[in-house]
Amino acid sequence: MLKKTIALAAGLSLLTGCLASKEFSTLSTTLKKGTLLIRSLTVSNPSDGNTKVTNFLGWIAVGGGTPAKLERDGAQIADSSKLQSNSYSDEDSLTNDLNPGQTYLYALDFGASTATQSITPALLPDTRLTSTEPQGNTVAANSQPVLKWTRQGALPKGYVVTVAKMPGAIGTSLSGGTPTYIAFLQAASHSTQVTYGTPSDLAAIAGDALLSSTLANMEGGFFAQKNDPLTPGNYAWTVVAIDHDDAETSFAIDKPDSIGIFTVQ
């Protein structure tokens, strides 16, 4: 489950990206008024295929105190009782009231002033990948096979590769499997392949504690960075595209387009 609160330190980590997305006259003046910081994450959950948007809000105010209320597009979504920890997670609900590509304006009432900030959740990238190798191959235990795919769409910002050991027959998804290798990769460096066990190098996610912990805690564990040795059994793997805006404030991870399989002996 996504954590409902983010520590102030995590809220501060939002600052760099948001400063890049909006001009401030002077930082000191802004902090006195109160600064609202936002990150957005759009994910197509590999467990069920549903797309979910979460906007993470953190704030800083030199004067301290708890904000009176938080509004989204002029409508209150939280009162002071939900704003005690310098952070708030605005999550998509069953009514789908948060949508990729739509801009949302948040206003945080500090009493003497109101801090505003907008965010546009990223659209899902166009994966259009074919898992090509290993595909039906047999590899040796404790080996590090090269995972290869064919890209048909535009080059995204990155990829997430997931390998899972399956308990029985392999179907059309990794659901039910136990992830053994998961890495967030720069697409520029790994455009069509990666060696099993290669560490994550997409710093925009792997180097961000907020996004990494949020993804790691999603149901199924398919976004928790991992690198376990290959042991005998049947495996399935997939690769999906990741995109984010230039300010690294809005991220999106697509759903699997194809599944590769291999056996370890």
> The domain spanning residue 134 has which CATH number?
2.60.40.10
Pairing type for strands 75-79 and 69-72 reads antiparallel
- Of 229, 258, 227, the closest CA to residue 46 belongs to 258
The answer as to whether 31 is a domain residue is: yes
Q: Whole-angstrom Cα distance, residue 104 to residue 72?
A: 7
- 3-state secondary structure (DSSP) of residue 15: helix
Q: Which of 47-56, 69-78, 162-171 has the highest mean pLDDT?
A: 69-78
Tens of pLDDT along 44-63? 877 677 888 999 999 887 66
**What pLDDT, on a 0 to 100 scale, did the predictor assign at position 209?**
85
Tens of pLDDT along 140-161? 999 999 999 998 888 999 999 9
What's the whole-number average pLDDT of the chain?
83
The answer as to whether 94 is a domain residue is: yes
- Largest pairwise CA distance in the chain: 67
**What pLDDT, on a 0 to 100 scale, did the predictor assign at position 95?**
55
The answer as to whether 53 is a domain residue is: yes
Asked whether residue 232 falls in the same domain as residue 150, the answer is yes
Task: Please report which confidence band the pLDDT of residue 256 belongs to, taking 50, 70 and 90 as the band edges.
Answer: confident
Asked whether residue 105 falls in the same domain as residue 140, the answer is no
Residue predicted with more confidence, 174 or 189: 189
**What pLDDT, on a 0 to 100 scale, did the predictor assign at position 28?**
41
**What pLDDT, on a 0 to 100 scale, did the predictor assign at position 126?**
87
Pairing type for strands 233-244 and 250-253 reads antiparallel
In whole angstroms, how far apart are CA 80 and each of 42, 67, 70, 88, 252? 27, 6, 8, 11, 30
**What pLDDT, on a 0 to 100 scale, did the predictor assign at position 135?**
83
User: What is the per-residue burial (b if ≥16 Cβ within 10 Å, else e) of 46-77?
Assistant: beeeebbbbbbbbbbbeeeeebebbbbeeeee
Asked whether residue 143 falls in the same domain as residue 96, the answer is no
Asked whether residue 228 falls in the same domain as residue 205, the answer is yes
The pLDDT of 78-97, averaged and rounded, is 83
**What pLDDT, on a 0 to 100 scale, did the predictor assign at position 82?**
92
Report the DSSP beta bridge partners of residue 264. Answer: 139, 233
The answer as to whether 166 is a domain residue is: yes
- How many domains, the chain? 2
Residues constituting the chain: 265
Task: Please report which confidence band the pLDDT of residue 129 belongs to, taking 50, 70 and 90 as the band edges.
Answer: confident
Domain of 164, in residue numbers? 129-264
Q: Are 157 and 244 in contact (CB under 8 A)?
A: yes
Task: Please report which confidence band the pLDDT of residue 123 belongs to, taking 50, 70 and 90 as the band edges.
Answer: very high
- State which of 75, 91, 119 marks the end of a domain: 119
**Residue 242 in this model has a pLDDT that exceeds 50:** yes
**Residue 182 in this model has a pLDDT that exceeds 80:** yes
Q: What is the pTM of this model?
A: 0.82
Task: Please report which confidence band the pLDDT of residue 77 belongs to, taking 50, 70 and 90 as the band edges.
Answer: very high
Tens of pLDDT along 13-38? 444 444 343 433 333 444 445 678 89
- Of 163, 162, 255, 246, the closest CA to residue 204 belongs to 246
- State which of 69, 99, 119 marks the end of a domain: 119
- State which of 119, 151, 178 marks the end of a domain: 119
